[in-house]
Each structure stands twice: as structure tokens, then as C-alpha cells.
Amino acid sequence: MQSASKREQVSHSTYCTIRSDAAAAIPRQPSCPFGIGPDWICGPTGIRDILTDVDVADDSTAGSTSDDVGWTYETTNSVLFTGQTSGITILDPSIVPPTLETQLLTTYGERFDPLLKILDWPNVLSMLRSSPEFASAELEALRTAVLFGGAVTIQPYELDNRDGLLAYLRMVLEARLAEAKILTTPSYMTLQAFVIYLAALRATRANAQQWTLLPIAIRIASSLHIPALLTTEPGDYMRVNLWYSIGMLDLQSSFDRGSQPLLRGQDFPIPAADVGGPDLALTGPLKHFSTMTTSLMTYQAMLCQRELMESTAIALVTGQLQHEWWSAQLRTFRRFEQYVANISVACGGGTSTAIPLQSFTMAVAKESLLTMRLLLYRPLQKLSGQLKPPQPDFDILQSAVNVLESAEFKVQPEYAKWSWYTWVKWYALAIALAELCRTPRPWQDHILQAWNVAAMSYDKYAQLVADTDQGLLWRPIDKLMGRTRQICLAQIPLPPEMHHELTSQQAMLDDNLQEMDWFQWDTFIHDVMAPDVLPDSVDYWEFNT
């Protein structure tokens, strides 16, 4: 039986059908001049000075991160404690009535399935509708995972007490995964349920938990001989796509956490299969748009990004020549660039007749291309002296701002269905802040606009990044934000009686923050990707003394 305390978390009377007209009521964030307001001035405190001779205000209080915000959740049914189940494995019809369950199944098919092809959805939907309840522990785990996956795609303004529903479904799902013995005797079906669970965790801002649990999915897949025994036979197509979904979550969570991916490009020897087209087949040249096209595009972006990162790592170890390494990088980038061009054709070339999912896919493809180009010139690895991206007429700051701005397209009403699936562009934010620090003053209007975008992104990402405000990833970004904010504040017009104070502040900044082009991006990335404790001896900034 469900305890009284658990029942109090969920008000039965507040649940209703999902509002179909809610997409038109997407809330917009207010703006302010230069993006500066109370929320921008107060940021997370840092614990190690990057520039010890410049005083940074250390009285900030904003900036709780992903696991500190949103609804709280406690359960004894965690999959890590399979021996501790409370027996809550039956969906309460007063909380999840049949009408809501039907809607959640539909929502999963429309919003979750096109982005992550974990299931052969038409067949699974038919099985879930035709199978009696409690047919098997594995099937019930999958059923609840689908309901949980459908629920995380719903916006708070679409369903009353959405957070309570999410907490309840997660509790039941974890109990059912435990009942299905996910850690001891897993099956292909329970692996599917577990991967849906991991993807849905991230949509509830449990990024750090997803990052920690993802290796379990890789281990379970390995125990099921995925990808070791995968073939190009039709019977293996969905297993191939499930493996690609795990690979996507691996790359996504590693970016969230600023860590190295667990899987490598060579772990994906077989191309993903287009199970959404008229003919079930391994992917070839894109000739039409299907329900699988969005997933195929993200899989291709994943493979290219892994190749860029891994080829750089190999070049650093083997001492590859600069021009050879850069030529290989460009070939990989241009391959994805051509893929995006093909996507444009398959999506109708951006015409007004394109359906929302086609337009969304094209927007994600362009966003991925912008991100890949930025990381081409500012790679996430610490580079040695012989490997440096050439610096042609390429505006790093504008490129970083473009990435940050492109990530906001999902707020458009027509894309609301898929806005749950996001990437935290912390690296673009870090690059933008570093470039702003070394931009000559006074800032021009387009630089102030870049600062506005960076400031809004900082406020947003502080709530999403899979790190604490004292963690390896967010601390250096917070320090960069403090430096950039100082420079921007010093340029805002003040009343005449404050001119003397401004002059004193400007003199301090000119003396101590000059030559900001000495920002050590390599050192910053090295510390962000460090596996353990941030070394006190490392400084991101170098000065001529």
C-alpha cells in the first residue's frame, strides 16, 4: 500500500487531461539592458581566485544547480537497492486514470520517440494495449517507463501537478525495475525501460544522477552482447538503434558534466537503421523524411563529434603534424555539413509546407553544425604546442553567441513538444565569456548584445548544468562570469556624482585586466575535464611579470 506521506505528495483532484491549447502560452523570459539585473549580479561564489589582485564580489547567493532546484524526491525503491522494495508496483488508478494513461502513451509516441528511437514504437504500443496488466515484470517496467517518458515531455502549463505525477511515476518505475531484477538478471526489455528512465531523468533536471547511472546501461548492454554480436540483419535493427540511443546519452551526459565519454566511435561499427521509413533498412543517403530522420541526424552528429575529439586525442599522442590533423578535422566537419545539406532536402528545404517535426529537425541540424564548427576552433581537449587550430577570418565570439542563441529556438510554440530534450551549451558560454574579457573597451553595441546573450545563458545554465556550484565544471565558469560582469558594469553610464568611483574602478580594471587575450583556454578545459580535485596550483590567467 502507498504510505500516507507519499499520497500527500500527489493531489488526486488536481490531475486532468493534457491541455491541447497550452503550447500557445509558453512563458517568455523578461529582458533588461545588457542582461544586468538582480539575478545577473548575484552568482555562485567561487572558492579559488583566478586573479588574486582583482577583488570579485563574493557575496552572491544565486546559482543553485540542477540537483538543488525543482521538486524534491525521495524513495527507497532506487534501482541501486534492489532488495529494498516497498511493494508500490501497481499504478493507482486515482492518480493515473485510464484516460491519462492513454494520453501519456500518445504523448510518448509524438514527443519522445522521434528523438530517441529506443523502441519499435508501433509494435510496442500495440503490445502494451493488448497485453493484460501484470503479464510480466519486464513488460510492466517497460509500460511504466513509457508513461514516465511521456510525462517528462509535458510542460508544467499543460498538466496540473505535473511534478507530483513525475515523482509518483518515477517511484513506481524504480520499484518495477527492481522487481524485474534489472541489476542481476536483465533482459532486452528491461534494458529498454532503463534507457528510457535515464533519458527521462535528465528531463527532470536529474543530470548528475543520469551521469552516474549511465555506465550501468552500458554494462547491461554488454551482458546482452550489445554491440558485440550485432549484425546488419533486420532482426538486429532495433538493438542497433537502442545502442545508438545509449551512445547519445553517453555523449550528452559527458558534455553536461564536463567529463570524457565512456564509449568511443569504434563502438558503433554498424550504422543505425531507419525503422520509420517505408522500408526497414540500414541508413543510406537521405531521400525522404520519416519519423526516424531526427534520430538519425543526431546519431550522425554524435559520431562526427566523437571523431573530432578522438582524432585530436590520437594526434596528441602520436605527434601528428599540424596540417595532417587539421585536414582530418575539416574532413569530418564537412562530412556532417553535407549531411545537414541532405537533411534540408529531406525536410522540404525549409519551405512553408514543412511539418513542425521537419522544421524542428532542420533547426537542430543547424544548431549541431554551429556547435561543431565552434568546437573545431576551440576543442574541448588541452592542445599541445604543435596542434593549434588556424585562426582565419573567424569570429570566435560571434560563433559562440550564435550557438547560445540557436539553443533557444526550442521555446517557439511549434517546437514545444520536443523542448524537453536539450543540451547545456556551457562550453559556448565559457568561450563567449573568455572572448568578452579580452574584447577592447569600450564595448560596441554588438558586443553588448553578445554580453546580454551570455548573461541570460549563464542564468539559465546555472540551473541545468550537472554540477554543483563548488564543482569542477561550474566554478571556473562562475569565475569567468565574475570577470566579465565587472568589465560590463564599468561601462554602464552612471550619474555624475558617481563618476569618481567609476574612474577608480576603471583604473583598477585597466591595471589588472589588460591583455585578456592571455586567457588559457587549454588550461581551463584541462581543469574542467580533470577527473578529481581542481589543483590549486593551476591558474587560468597568465601575466607578464
Q: What pLDDT is recorded for position 116?
A: 94
Q: Are residues 245 and 121 in the same domain?
A: yes
477 domain residue, yes or no: yes
Residue where one domain finishes, among candidates 244, 275, 306 = 275
What's this model's pTM, rounded to 2 decimal places?
Answer: 0.78
* DSSP label at residue 421: S
C-alpha cell at 282: 540500414
Find the domain containing 498 and state its range: 44-63+422-545
User: Which residue is it, cell 525495475?
Assistant: 177
Phi-psi map region of 59: left, alpha, beta (phi>0 left; psi -120 to 50 alpha): alpha
10 domain residue, yes or no: no
Q: Which of 121, 196, 210, 118 is nearest to 152 (CA)?
A: 196
Q: What pLDDT is recorded for position 473?
A: 74
Q: Which of 426, 519, 433 is nearest to 474 (CA)?
A: 426
Q: Are residues 326 and 454 in the same domain?
A: no
Q: Are residues 332 and 317 in the same domain?
A: yes
Asked whether 153 and 204 are in contact (CB, 8 A), the reply is no
Q: Are residues 86 and 224 in the same domain?
A: yes
Q: Are residues 315 and 181 in the same domain?
A: no
- Written in H, E and C, the secondary structure of 55-110 is CCCCCCCCCCCHHHCCCCCCCCCCCCCCCCCCCCCCCCCCCCCHHHHHHHHHHHHH
258 domain residue, yes or no: yes
Cα–Cα dist 294/276, whole Å: 10
Q: Which of 518, 522, 526, 443 is nearest to 485 (CA)?
A: 443
CA torsion through residues 474, 479, 480, 485, sign: positive
76 domain residue, yes or no: yes
Cα–Cα dist 355/245, whole Å: 24
Per-residue pLDDT of the chain (545 residues; tens, 9 = 90+): 444 444 334 444 444 566 655 444 434 333 332 222 222 222 222 212 322 333 344 434 344 443 433 334 444 445 454 544 555 667 888 789 999 999 999 999 999 999 999 999 999 999 999 887 777 999 999 999 999 999 999 988 888 889 999 999 999 999 999 999 999 889 999 999 999 999 999 888 777 788 899 999 999 999 999 999 888 888 888 999 999 999 999 999 888 877 889 999 999 999 888 876 544 444 455 667 888 889 999 999 999 999 999 998 888 888 888 889 999 999 999 999 999 998 888 887 656 667 889 989 999 999 999 999 999 998 887 777 678 888 767 889 999 999 999 988 877 888 889 989 888 899 999 999 999 988 777 788 888 889 999 999 999 888 777 555 556 678 888 888 988 888 887 776 655 554 455 455 454 444 444 433 334 566 666 665 554 433 343 343 332 32
35 domain residue, yes or no: no
Q: What pLDDT is recorded for position 471?
A: 63
DSSP reduced 3-state for 458: helix
Q: Are residues 126 and 187 in the same domain?
A: yes
407 domain residue, yes or no: no
321 domain residue, yes or no: yes
**Number of folded domains in the chain?**
3
Q: What pLDDT is recorded for position 423?
A: 83
List all residues 6 or more positions away from 41 whose beta carbon is below 8 Å from its beta carbon: 60, 485
Cα–Cα dist 9/166, whole Å: 11
9 domain residue, yes or no: no
C-alpha cell at 498: 558617481
Cα–Cα dist 197/217, whole Å: 10
Q: Which of 285, 387, 260, 382 is nearest to 329 (CA)?
A: 387
Residue where one domain finishes, among candidates 275, 307, 331 = 275
Cα–Cα dist 436/40, whole Å: 16
Q: Are residues 92 and 209 in the same domain?
A: yes
DSSP reduced 3-state for 274: strand
User: Which residue is it, cell 502549463?
Assistant: 157
Q: Are residues 367 and 309 in the same domain?
A: yes
Q: What pLDDT is recorded for position 503?
A: 52
C-alpha cell at 361: 529537425
Q: Are residues 83 and 226 in the same domain?
A: yes
C-alpha cell at 250: 553517453
Q: Are residues 91 and 235 in the same domain?
A: yes
